[in-house]
Amino acid sequence: MTSPRGCLRTEMGLEPTLVCAISSPAGVGCGILATLKGAPCILVPLHVIGGPENARRVRIAAEVGGKVTHLRLRPPPSEGWRLSSPEPPRGRAPDVNRMDYVIAPIHELPATIDARTLTALDAYDPPTFVPPESTSERTRRVEIVAAPASWLRAGPRDEQTTTNGRSTGTEDVAGHPAAEHGHRTTAEHGRDGIDAIRTHLGRLTGIDCAECLTVRYDARLTPGTSGAAVFETSDDGTSRRLVAMHRAGDPGGEGSSSSRDAEGLSIADIMRDVAEITAERAVRTGASAGHLRAAASELLLRPAATSRDGYESRGRRCRAAAAALRAAAEHPHRASRAARDLSGGGGDVHEGADAMLSALEKWKELSATRSVRFADAAAHLAGSLARAELGEALRYETDELLLDVLLKHEKVEAIVSKTLWALRLRMKRRGGVNPALDRLIEQTTSRLRGARNDGEKSSVHRELSLLDALMTSKRHTIA
């Protein structure tokens, strides 16, 4: 079996990372040929491919055994095309909902590529980051390995042969004077005019420490390198590991204070996003069949000692949780029973409802209520449980969460009206007045009236009127 030349060798042995050149109607870039659960795929920025509608027009070229080999994508509705995240708006950095990647399925690997030598995406740890003020001896180096677009000019049926030139990319990582400043680009050339892999050297300058989503480095990159493999290397060159996929230069533009830095997506965080997509799909599939265990499991956050936030939240993502909230709101009794069983309690269905409401407060700690989808679904569940008379009626923490949702999304009519509806149903179920809480509700709704001008026919105005009427009709005080 021939070893792919895009798989770089180090003193530690073969690095199973094959970098490919890619072209599509959307542009030209690179991709990382890998496996996911044993199936061949290619990890590439979504903006390079443009979307699954371009699948049949995407060209992929890899150099294997001195020859350019062409690969094809498996067109939709293949399963892998669902593993993607859209591109962030121009000029903005990626976030957990807009990362700009796709894990596209490969139609078939040629006999010259052994899937067992490829990068397995299934398990990755976040990269290391040492702050810039630390000593230079401890600052981590990076190598950005890109495939040249010239590979794409070799026709699929007329593969061109290249010669094994001397690689200066991997040997010069440690100790080279130019590498100390992170501006060195190296490449090798075949006699037949087809370039081999290109290596750009630099140093880590930053990592999104809140979510470990993006990696920043000071390497100078050429156009067409989006999708290149980013390796973190030791100073002595004895260890290197794939940590990110290069996405773009500085998203802030020339006027940014960090305009010299380039940006990559952490492989570990891409895989957290894949797990989020898979979990959301499981919630929807189970709910459509009337099974709420997956939804309840997603809502009930589990502690995680190794996580930055203390919970298994997949980097503070809440799309799957929002889907779970909607499913639970539509089937409150089933969801409460499932949550009770998962909580390990032997109580009644009210215990399960309380467990879900308690979980909402934990999600609030993770700032999930900033998400429009999560906030809308949280209000839906709180109101649905109150209407079904499930859970503790005097759980004021839930009301405070709803008021927090109102303040965060006061300009979104659908969320405001649904949250007022949930507050009204919970107040109706309590049946009495809690002076402190009701004062807080009055203050929030007064601010809401001052900030909005919906008119008397709006859903918000109707809900405010109904809430006012309910508050004035209550006669007895409760604790």
DSSP state of 180: G
Position 180, amino acid: E
Torsion angle of alpha carbons 438, 441, 443, 444, nearest 10°?
170
376, two tokens: 């809308």
Instruction: Report whether the peptide linkage leading into residue 126 is cis, meaning its omega lies within 30 degrees of zero.
Output: no
Q: Is residue 256 pLDDT above 50, yes or no?
A: no
Domain assignment of residue 83, yes or no: yes
Please tell me whether residues 67 and 203 are part of one structural domain: yes
Instruction: Return the minimum-mean-pLDDT range out of 133-142, 167-176, 420-429.
Output: 167-176
* pLDDT tens-digit readout, 276-321: 999 999 999 999 999 999 999 999 987 665 566 667 778 889 999 9
* Pick from 311, 299, 329, 232: nearest CA to 10: 232
Domain assignment of residue 277, yes or no: no
Domain assignment of residue 279, yes or no: no
Angle subtended at Cα 28 by Cα 189 and Cα 278, rounded to the nearest 5 degrees? 115
Query: Is the separation of the CB atoms in 117 and 71 below 8 Å?
Result: no
What is the pLDDT at residue 40?
A: 92
Please tell me whether residues 365 and 443 are part of one structural domain: yes
* Pick from 325, 12, 393: nearest CA to 174: 12
pLDDT category of residue 92 using cuts at 50, 70 and 90: confident
67, two tokens: 């020859």
Domain assignment of residue 185, yes or no: yes
Domain assignment of residue 479, yes or no: no
Task: Among 222, 238, 269, identify where a domain stops.
Answer: 269
Other C-beta atoms closer than 10 Å to the C-beta of 475 total 8
Give backbone dihedrals phi and psi of 187, rounded to 5 degrees, phi first: -160, 165
Task: Among 269, 298, 319, identify where a domain stops.
Answer: 269
Question: How far lies 85's CA from each of 99, 104, 253, 267, in Å?
Answer: 5, 12, 22, 13
Q: Is 307 exposed, middle or buried (0-12, 13-18, 19+ CB in 10 A)?
A: middle
Please tell me whether residues 50 and 145 are part of one structural domain: yes
User: For the chain, give me the number of helices (H) and strands (E)?
Assistant: 11, 17
Please tell me whether residues 211 and 240 are part of one structural domain: yes
Q: Is residue 135 pLDDT above 50, yes or no?
A: no
Please tell me whether residues 358 and 461 are part of one structural domain: yes
Taking the C-alpha atoms of residue 126 and residue 173, their distance in angstroms, rounded to an integer, is: 22
231, two tokens: 């390796």
* Pick from 381, 385, 391: nearest CA to 348: 391
Q: Is residue 180 pLDDT above 70, yes or no?
A: no
Query: Is the separation of the CB atoms in 80 and 39 below 8 Å?
Result: yes
Query: Is the separation of the CB atoms in 364 and 401 below 8 Å?
Result: yes
Other C-beta atoms closer than 10 Å to the C-beta of 439 total 10
Q: Is residue 216 pLDDT above 60, yes or no?
A: yes
Question: How far lies 356's CA from each of 184, 272, 294, in Å?
Answer: 54, 23, 13
Taking the C-alpha atoms of residue 196 and residue 188, their distance in angstroms, rounded to an integer, is: 5
Mean pLDDT score, 219-235: 88
Other C-beta atoms closer than 10 Å to the C-beta of 285 total 11
63, two tokens: 């150099």
DSSP state of 106: B
352, two tokens: 């399960």
Please tell me whether residues 240 and 351 are part of one structural domain: no
Please tell me whether residues 257 and 296 are part of one structural domain: no
Taking the C-alpha atoms of residue 57 and residue 203, their distance in angstroms, rounded to an integer, is: 36
Taking the C-alpha atoms of residue 417 and residue 458, their distance in angstroms, rounded to an integer, is: 9
Is residue 214 classed as helix, strand or coil in its secondary structure? Answer: strand
292, two tokens: 């709420």
Please tell me whether residues 164 and 295 are part of one structural domain: no
Task: Among 240, 269, 298, identify where a domain stops.
Answer: 269
Please tell me whether residues 66 and 143 are part of one structural domain: yes
Domain assignment of residue 49, yes or no: yes
Please name the helix (run of DSSP H) or strand (run of DSSP E) that holds residue 62, with its range, or none.
Answer: strand 59-64
Please tell me whether residues 115 and 22 are part of one structural domain: yes
Domain assignment of residue 274, yes or no: no
Taking the C-alpha atoms of residue 321 and residue 335, their distance in angstroms, rounded to an integer, is: 13
pLDDT category of residue 380 using cuts at 50, 70 and 90: very high
Q: Mean pLDDT score of the chain, rounded to an integer?
A: 80
Other C-beta atoms closer than 10 Å to the C-beta of 136 total 10
Q: Is residue 3 pLDDT above 90, yes or no?
A: no
Query: Is the separation of the CB atoms in 205 and 218 below 8 Å?
Result: yes
What is the pLDDT at residue 349?
A: 93
Number of compact structural domains in the chain: 2
What is the pLDDT at residue 126?
A: 55
Please tell me whether residues 136 and 230 are part of one structural domain: yes
What is the pLDDT at residue 13?
A: 36
Q: Is residue 2 pLDDT above 60, yes or no?
A: no
Query: Is the separation of the CB atoms in 249 and 47 below 8 Å?
Result: no
Angle subtended at Cα 50 by Cα 47 and Cα 56, rounded to the nearest 5 degrees? 140
Taking the C-alpha atoms of residue 293 and residue 363, their distance in angstroms, rounded to an integer, is: 18
Please tell me whether residues 333 and 460 are part of one structural domain: yes
Domain assignment of residue 282, yes or no: no
* pLDDT tens-digit readout, 11-59: 333 344 689 999 999 999 999 999 998 899 999 999 999 888 899 999 9
Q: Which domain holds residue 316?
A: 290-473
